[in-house]
Structure 1
Amino acid sequence: MAVAASTESMPLARVPQTRSLSPVRAWIYSLAALVVLMVAVGGATRLTGSGLSITEWRPVTGAIPPLSEQAWLVEFEKYRQISQYELVNKGMTLSEFKFIYGWEWGHRQLGRLIGLVFFLPLVWFWARGVIKGRLALTLLGIGALGGLQGAIGWIMVASGLEPGMTAVAPIKLALHLTVASIILACLVWVAAGLKDRSDEAPEVSTGLAPRILMGLILFQIALGGLVAGSKAGLTYNTWPLMDGALVPSASALFSVSPWIENFVDNVVLVQFNHRLVAYAIVAFAIWHAWTTRRRASGSKAASRATVMAGLTLAQMVLGIVTLLLVVPLWAGLAHQVFAMAVLAMAAVHARVSVA
């Protein structure tokens, strides 16, 4: 009798703790939304050519933009000393400079806001004992990753300020985007794990497929960063053929020496790899949905797997449209932001699925 009573009381004992974590869950999802917004603003900054407009890294004093005409002229003069101005934007007016400066300043300001929205509630929840132990350490790890992301952002910008450079290094842009995506996936993973599912039907086993799918999507986002950084999307704007063939010639795919640099610096191979992995992700997601529906039709796992198949297919179609239209601003941003939505859903699916 005592054992039975103890067993029956266990779900009730978890309810107060789960309810106390509901504000934490909402806070983490708010952070995830801010990260998506950060990625969107970062994409707009890149697509408008604004990323090198601020030539110094001032984490504190840089929060205040130029407030006078003289201050604007000082900032403009700093920009006119770099290669991007000399080789791309020579003759730019002060008002045009203010436009690109605004995008980069907004991107950095949003980063400062995310830092505040992360650490202030973290300290408050921790002080009240709402979060502790493993959850607290996990959140601290995500915070450290966010700090590292800020440093990576400046390293990326600094690569574009070197003499002769007119844009940031593609591999550093890809790293910056990938770390942002990892932060988003971590936030969604943690938040999804805080939901009380004691009243829901047990999850059916889906194996490692959801986690493999999430890993593939992260890898594809990294490849997308290389495409964006090398401007490979502005070339070979046909589909399904690429340079008149389904598979470009080996001489085109590996024209750079040493061969390893083709994976970063050769726009043919960079774009081709992005295409191939897109096909692989869609095929894998459809297979995962089909097998899950066969095993447990009507289950939540089957529904999520079906949604993932639809999302990955929609993202591939959006990518093709973006390529065919030669990357207009709206399409490039939509493709980048939708990738974050696909990743977030993949993280939820992987977190709540039973391996």
Structure 2
Amino acid sequence: MAQKRSIFEEVATDEKPKAAPQGGLIEKGRGGARKGIRAWLIVIFALVMAMIAVGGLTRLTDSGLSITEWKPVTGAIPPMSEADWTSEFEKYQQIPEYQLQNEGMSLSEFKSIYWWEWGHRFLGRFIGLVWAVGYIGFAVARKVPTGWHKRLIFIGALGGLQGAIGWWMVSSGLVGERLDVASYRLATHLGLAFIILGFIAWYVFLLGRTEGELMQARRSKDAKLYGLSTGMLHLAFLQILLGALVAGIDAGRGYTDWPLMGGQVLPPDPFYITPAWRNFFENPALVQFIHRMVGYLLFIFGIVAWLKGRKSANKATVGAFNLMFALLFLQVVLGIVTLLHGAPLALGLSHQVGAVALFVAISRARFLSNYPKPQSVRAA
């Protein structure tokens, strides 16, 4: 017969206590080395920015055709002896740029332009090395977050494609009677550089938060601001391509008056080249005119986006649109000043770097429209 027990007696049990539910399950298996990969991508981002700046200097100093061969591996070693320098100089003397423009150039003058192009190519190789070492290291250590392998490989593939397009661009200036690389190939090369920069920036923004935080932020997405900033990003990219066409044919040094061109709205003889479509790529007056018009359109578009962005209930988003418009205004002023002074080296390079800063600022405003930062009710 079972004994009676006091109601105050503890009852023993073999059952183990259930584990308390743990939060953050959405992050399980997804985290990886988000901070480490983000830092690595920021380094690559800075290197790509430097690459764009060096590329601009290479173009502005007419150094891009000084190396007439594409040797992805052995080309990393510069000339080491006087005989090597003489050999490189003799190769340069065979191309149209030397024969039609730089005939009589001394070896020391050749060395100065050679180093710019060699530095540009070496920096490209170094970026590829930083990407490869970083990706392989994170992959072997199994620290790549879930879903990020394809993204990181995509960046590396774009970098490899950029190297091939770079040679495709240079090769256009080595034959015929062309004194520079083809402007549309230069625009393709610069455009891909900005695409790479844009994707890296977006990935850096994403890695700044956990997957759970991103999913939560996505619920507060401002679709209208996201659409406006996306449209502005595309228009800014078009303007960057037009800027490359301007640089490719030195169109910024033809008409240095503003707001008119040669005393009139539309420059004289805008379609003197036949067939007519070539004028949009090779006519300095028409290319500069289009670059100006798209610049005005971008500025107006930017004002509309900024006014909408200022009405956001999120302080971080408002700040992003304020920064975007400030850089846009600065870039417009810098463009006008560069034009009025005939696009000297320092101003031309500053204008190009300003384009990078503006492009990234637009991308950040777009990101915060899609993934608003959390804030307290008081802050809102």
Alpha-carbon separation, structure 2, partners of 1:128 and 1:247:
60
- Answer whether contact 1:44 1:329 (CA < 8 A) is retained: yes
| Range with bigger deviation, 19-28 or 263-272 | 19-28
CA positional deviation for 1:295: 4.4
CA separation of 1:78/1:91 partners in 2, compared to 1, >3 Å: closer, same or farther? same
In structure 1, the partner of 2:60 is 47
Task: Give yes or no for contact 1:18–1:194 (8 Å, CA) kept in 2.
Answer: no
What is aligned with 2:228? 209
Contact 1:87-1:166 at 8 Å conserved across structures: yes
CA distance in 1, matches of 2:240, 2:28: 38
2:112 corresponding residue in structure 1: 99
- Quote the residue 2:39 is aligned against: 26
Contact 2:181 2:248 in 1 (8 A): yes
Identity of aligned residues (%): 45
Query: Distance between the aligned counterparts of 2:358 and 2:320, measured in 1?
Result: 12
Structure 1 CA distance for aligned equivalents of residues 28 and 58 of structure 2: 45
TM-score, normalized by length of structure 1? 0.92
Contact 1:18/1:195 (8 A) holds in 2: no
Deviation of residue 258 (structure 1)? 2.2
Is 1:60 aligned to residue 60 of structure 2? no
CA distance in 2, matches of 1:174, 1:183: 14
Structure 1 residues 295 and 343 mapped into 2: Cα distance closer, same or farther (>3 Å)?
A: closer
Counterpart amino acid of 1:309? F
Q: Does 1:230 align with 2:230?
A: no
Aligned to 2:286: 269
Q: Is the 8 A contact 2:243 2:291 kept in 1?
A: yes
Structure 2 counterpart of 1:318, from 322, 334, 348: 334
Report the Cα distance in structure 2 between the residues aligned to 1:272 and 1:351, rounded to whole angstroms.
32
Structure 2 CA distance for aligned equivalents of residues 302 and 246 of structure 1 = 36
Residues 126 and 132 in structure 1, CA contact (< 8 A), matched pair in contact too = no
8 Å contact from structure 1 (residues 189, 347) kept in 2: yes
1:161 aligned partner, one-letter code: L
Instruction: Tell whether 2:231 aligns with 1:218.
Output: no
For residues 46-87 of structure 1, the C-alpha deviation after alignment (integer angstroms, 9 at most, x for no partner) is 111111111100111111111111111111111111111111
Unmatched runs of 5 consecutive residues or more in structure 2: 1-19, 372-380
Q: Identify the residue that residue 363 of structure 2 maps to in structure 1.
A: 347
Unaligned regions of 5+ residues in structure 1, if any? none
Within the candidate set 46, 49, 61, 1:36 is matched to: 49
Larger radius of gyration: 2
Counterpart code for 1:27: W
Q: Confirm whether residue 167 of structure 1 aligns to residue 196 of structure 2.
A: no
CA distance in 2: counterparts of 1:207 and 1:137, whole angstroms: 25
Query: What is the correspondence of 1:44-193 to structure 2 with a 5 Å cutoff?
Result: 44-193=57-206
Rounded Cα–Cα distance in structure 2 between residues aligned with 1:203 and 1:340: 28
Counterpart residue identity of residue 306, structure 2:
A
Runs of 4+ in 1 over 4 A off after TM superposition: 15-19, 199-204
Structure 2 residue identity aligned to 1:293: R
Give 1:331's match in structure 2, choosing from 336, 341, 347.
347
Q: 2:267 aligns with which of 243, 248, 262?
A: 248
Equivalent residues, number: 346
- Aligned match of 2:23: 9
Instruction: Choose the corresponding residue for 1:301, options 295, 304, 317.
Output: 317
Point out the structure with the larger helix share.
1
Secondary structure of the residue that 1:353 maps to in structure 2? helix
Separation in structure 2 between the aligned mates of residue 337 and residue 15 of structure 1, nearest angstrom: 40
Change (3 A) 1:321 1:128: same
